[in-house]
Each structure stands twice: as structure tokens, then as C-alpha cells.
Structure 1
Amino acid sequence: MTAQRRDWCGGGRGIALILLVLGLCTPLWAGTNERVVTDRYSGLAIGGFDPVAYFTDSEPLAGLPDFELTEDGAVWRFRNDGNRTEFARHPDIYGPQFGGYDPVDMARGVAVAGNPRLWLVASQRLYLFSREDNRDAFKAAPVTFLPAARKKWPDVQETLAR
């Protein structure tokens, strides 16, 4: 949706409701969950990549629509039923830390969405990064960033949409 159309649809609830009925814009009151990096249109978490595959296959692999799970307000996709089941049992282990936001930026108190193709598994946890240099810096010294990121995460979560 273009910025011009988005602004026009957001001009008032009455106009937005009429346009919604006509199918021309999304409702203003539609809830989003930005505590997990999701696509604002599809609702897919981390770009539709299978979070368990980072651990089992050591690479980002696209999940399939046949194996979806809604967790924490986001739609997660998986390569197979086993990965979906494992994630459902342990979302805190397989889900990206800090909701998929870059931990280096999080250490500065800023929520910058991580790219599912720029990733690292460290200490049996998945981290996504917005830039390669952040991933490289984190990989070299995670203890430099993790304490500050963990400290800032609760406050940053409060600023994100529910």
C-alpha cells in the first residue's frame, strides 16, 4: 500500500470502515504484534522461515503453508510436522531471541528487525541481525551485547504494538 493511500485510509474511522467494506484498506484497529518480527500484511513471523531449521539444518529454510502454527500473535511456518511440534513445545528455545530484533541494536535500546538470512545460533539460541557487521561483531563477542540487550528488551517491548 502506498504512503498516500495509507494516509488517506487512516483519515477517519468512518472513511476507513467504508473502504474496508469495499476492500480498499486495512482497518485502523487491526491489532499487530510487533513483539515478534512479522510481515505486516501476511502475519508471517521471520519472513516465513522455519525457526527450527536453523538448528536442525544449520541454514534458513522456508516454511510451508501446510505446517503453520500461531504463537504469540504471529504465524510461524515449518518444513514439516516434527519441526512444528518441537517449536510448539519449546518456542522460547527455537524462536529468535528478542522477537527477531537485532540484539546489537537492542543493546542500544532500539528495535531494528533482524533479517532471517542474517542469523547466528549462539549458546543454543537463535539471533537475527539487521546487518552483516552487527552479526560479525556479535559473533566475536556476544557477552559485549547480551547483558545490555537483555536489560533493554523489557522496556523496548513496552514501546512495540501489542
Structure 2
Amino acid sequence: MNRFPLKIAGIAVALTMASSAFAGDQYVDPTGYAVSGYDVVAYFDLAQNPVGTAQPQAVPGDKDITSTYNGATFAFSSEENKAKFDANPDAYLPQYDGHCAYGVAKGGKVPGNPHLWRILDGKLYLNITENVVGFWEEDIPGNLQLSEANWVDIEDDPASDRAIPQFESPAPVN
């Protein structure tokens, strides 16, 4: 069921305007890991569901397979994924330092939930709650334009220190 129609051409325009969106403090939740200990490289191997439907669950990282980047520890499910990240971290980092894409569109930094994700134009975006995903998906191109414009002003603000609502993040496996 696709409740939110998209104008694909509009997404391409909005993403073309997107800049590198990950230079401030990375959001780290109480696990002590970026993206709650989930493998950021693994997202790019998951089948992405259509807008308006839930995405597959994120892949947990392994506490013994980690890299530090942008002041945060990232966990990976395999040595191969760690090597991919280490070779080109910018290709895998969640946008807005792991903060909610819709929150940035509204002008603030709030946590990004690793299970509420979407990849657009090769970039990983997270959102905070299922309700927020609905708002974001109603106008992805417009919200990305707002996010990119707002990010310039809030990027240097401290990372969110809030917990992700209704989310229990297990520490990375093993």
C-alpha cells in the first residue's frame, strides 16, 4: 500500500542540490555506538521497500568489528563491511550525522531511528518515529530541500542527547 505519491523527478532535483551532510557531531545513543550499533554498510545491500511501507530491519553490528569516524564508533556485521566503510566512510554515513531527516527539515537535531531508513540517490536517511516517516514521505523532495537549507545553520550545533522514542537498542551482537 503506497499512501504517499512521489514525484520521482522532484527527488532527483532535491538530491542534486544536496551537499555533504555529515560534518558535525554524530548522533550516538546510550549504546555508545553511532546508528545504535547497526551496520551502516549493510543498509545498501537491503532490498528497499516502496514509499509508504516499512523498510526491512537494520542489520546489527558486531562489537568486535568497529571503526571510529567523525568522533563516533560504528559497528559492522562483517569484516568485509568494515573494510568498505574504512575505504570510503562518506559513502555510508547517514545524512545529518545520524539525526532525523524530517527533524532537520523542521530546523532541529533529533535522533534518527536505525529501523526507519531510506536510501535516496545513494545516501542513507533516518527518521525518528513511524509518524514522522509519514510526514517526511508526503513530500520527500520538499523536505530534502528544507533539510539541506536548515543543515547549514544547525550543523555545528551539538548532537542530540535525546533517546529515540519507543526504541530499545541492543548493543551490537557478540
Please report the TM-score for the alignment, with normalisation by the length of structure 2: 0.67
**1:36 equivalent in alignment to 2:26:** yes
Q: Deviations over 1:127-148 (max 9, x none)?
A: 1111112223333431111111
Where does the alignment leave 5 or more consecutive residues of structure 2 unmatched? 1-22, 48-55, 160-174
SS of equivalent to 2:155: helix
Report if the CA contact (8 A) 1:36-1:45 is conserved.
yes
Residue type of the alignment partner of 1:158: D
Which residue is equivalent to 1:51?
40
Report if the CA contact (8 A) 2:24-2:157 is conserved.
no
Task: Tell me how many residue pairs correspond in the alignment.
Answer: 128
The structure, 1 or 2, with the larger RCO (C-alpha pairs under 8 Å, 6+ apart) is: 2
Alignment of 1:78-157 (within 5 A): 78-157=76-155
SS of equivalent to 2:109: coil
Residue type of the alignment partner of 1:160: P
Is 78-87 or 58-67 further displaced after alignment?
58-67
Is 149-158 or 105-114 further displaced after alignment?
149-158
Percent sequence identity is: 30
SS of equivalent to 1:159: coil
Q: Distance in 2 between matches of 1:73 and 1:66?
A: 18
Q: Distance in 1 between matches of 2:137 and 2:85?
A: 24
Larger radius of gyration: 1
Pairwise CA distance, 1:97: 0.6
Higher helix share: 1
Please report the TM-score for the alignment, with normalisation by the length of structure 1: 0.72
Where does the alignment leave 5 or more consecutive residues of structure 1 unmatched? 1-32
Pairwise CA distance, 1:74: 0.3
Q: Distance in 2 between matches of 1:123 and 1:137?
A: 20
Q: CA RMSD in A?
A: 1.9
Report if the CA contact (8 A) 2:24-2:156 is conserved.
no
Pairwise CA distance, 1:157: 1.9
